Chains A and B, each alone.
Chain A
């Protein structure tokens, strides 16, 4: 086990990349501590899988280094890196039994059979495969097969890191919950560094201590789930995380005062804007937006009841602002005023948080 450092990492699939757009993965500096649970979160095509393949050694980056502990492994082949990976679709060896599947990574490394047996039984216990050990792997259901993949990822004790590449994609929704909590439990039990790649915010936020949010090959924010929720560094993070996403409204700033249209908005953190003026964006989550006696005048356009709370769509000019309102609270029928929680209102300059 080891700390993982990515130093000045970048990758392009083209032979002579010039413009930043040629890069599938832009400059990246990250340090992951030993034994942590991390998630790489971003939409499809944002470079998550590229980054994962660089760490696993399936891809050599165009520049930069990958360090496991103090050892530079950038150019080492996969089998010398001592890592494990679970893929999006279950990979099982059809002709083998479940037992042989789990034992495969150990036997390939010449582990003594007694040790193999002990380890396979432990892992089978953890992944609920004990009853099926003697069955042929090809006969299992999709989630059974994915459990085998998971088990093969966990079976070696000494791996540097275990990586999960959207491992729950093919699993039924009700089993997703089970497997997800199982993973979290396994992480606590084993203490191995784990990196979890997903485009599903719920999976990322529930699994990881720290989430790396990526967009267009670039890391836009690294933070704990709370940081991502309360202080998104980029409007993309605001949109992508949270349901519904953050409200973004254009605003003007002059002399530290924020105005949306004619209405003055109270924002706590404007230290970075003291000496600046011009057009910016105000970002407030629907959870921190509420109806008030006075404030920003809007029109209510739609109410969606989610059962636990209601999501209200309002319009200010041609911009949409959403609110989360508790069940039972009154909702004005058409014209209303909005207030924003000053402590949770952020100002963005060209999509990046003004700090």
Chain B
């Protein structure tokens, strides 16, 4: 049979191409444009090649932001994933409490990000906030606006509060899909609780946990709103994550070239890490 070649089909995907072009491709190309040029007022542009990239990659400021970003992501992953799994394991599988638990878990996810930041900003204030006041009254010298350690503690606690639910819900979905026969068989085989977790629950949750880790990695690596409302990157630069630094360079200093170069590097880091991570997880799956 002869295949008929008909290029008219492209017209049907044209609307979506235009849409994607406007919300992703054109902005991205603009960024690429900025990253290669030096701009002055009056929309005057001068070609600068890869100079901004070299400058960014040589600056201590970029590397320390990246370091803080990696530390933040690492911390929330090693806290939220095991904690999420642990909470999912204790949630009921049947009965009226299931919906109560699910709603409670979904609540933090429904709150707008800047509201989360504002809530924790006030909640943790040492003189009037419930958490801050409480910690100080039981003898801790806690002040997240002045002490680096306290700022990090509050930042991580806030993210754990906000996002652990996502891991819980995904892990729970994995858990309830395990047929009862597996648990019955494990009882009959004399398996301990740990072995049930290790050989039944964990393998069955693997797929959803892959997605959970991937989502949490990307989201935490992109995080901006909550820390900016909570600490504004301070005290000093101690909680200035990559995204906050980027905004400072672009909109604070109006260094559009370096900011564009930095955001491209930033984008590539996320893309590359996600890809490596996903490939590794899926290869494990196939074995």
> Which A residues form the contact surface with B (CB < 8 A)?
56, 58, 77-79, 83-85, 87-89, 91, 93-96, 104-105, 108-109, 136, 149, 152
Contacts and interface: CB of A to CB of B under 8 A. Distances in A.
Given A91-B182, A105-B188, 20 more contacts: A56-B184, A56-B188, A58-B184, A77-B187, A78-B188, A79-B187, A83-B188, A88-B181, A89-B181, A91-B181, A91-B185, A93-B199, A93-B200, A93-B203, A94-B203, A96-B199, A104-B191, A108-B190, A108-B195, A152-B189
A79 B186 CA distance: 9
Interface in B193-210: 195, 199-200, 203-204
Contacts of B199: 93, 95-96, 104
Contacts of B187: 58, 77-79
19 contacts: A56-B184, A77-B187, A79-B187, A79-B188, A84-B188, A87-B181, A87-B184, A89-B179, A93-B199, A93-B200, A95-B199, A96-B199, A104-B199, A105-B188, A105-B190, A108-B189, A108-B192, A108-B195, A152-B189
A171 to B, nearest CB: 16
Nearest to A88: B181
Contacts, number: 49
Nearest to B287: A136
Contacts of A105: 188-190
A89 B287 CA distance: 22
Contacts of A95: 199, 203
Contacts of B182: 91
Interface of B: 179, 181-182, 184-185, 187-192, 195, 199-200, 203-204, 287
Contacts of A89: 179, 181
Q: Kindly name the residue among B190, B195, B204 whose own CB sees the greatest number of chain A CB atoms within 10 A.
A: B190
A148 to B, nearest CB: 11
Q: Kindly name the residue among B179, B181, B182, B189 whose own CB sees the greatest number of chain A CB atoms within 10 A.
A: B189
Contacts of B190: 79, 105, 108-109
Contacts of B191: 104, 108
Nearest to B195: A108
Contacts of A152: 185, 189
A95 B195 CA distance: 12
B177 to A, nearest CB: 13
B129 to A, nearest CB: 46
Contacts of B200: 93
A58 B188 CA distance: 9
Q: Kindly name the residue among A58, A96, A109 whose own CB sees the greatest number of chain B CB atoms within 10 A.
A: A58
Closest 4 CB pairs of A and B: A108-B190, A91-B185, A105-B189, A87-B181
A34 B108 CA distance: 59
Contacts of A136: 287
Contacts of B179: 89
B207 to A, nearest CB: 11
B184 A85 contact: yes
A115 to B, nearest CB: 15
Contacts of A149: 185
B174 to A, nearest CB: 13
A95 B179 CA distance: 17
A85 B187 CA distance: 10
A87 B185 CA distance: 8
A149 B186 CA distance: 11
Contacts of B192: 108
Contacts of B184: 56, 58, 78, 85, 87
A300 B12 CA distance: 64
A77 B287 CA distance: 36
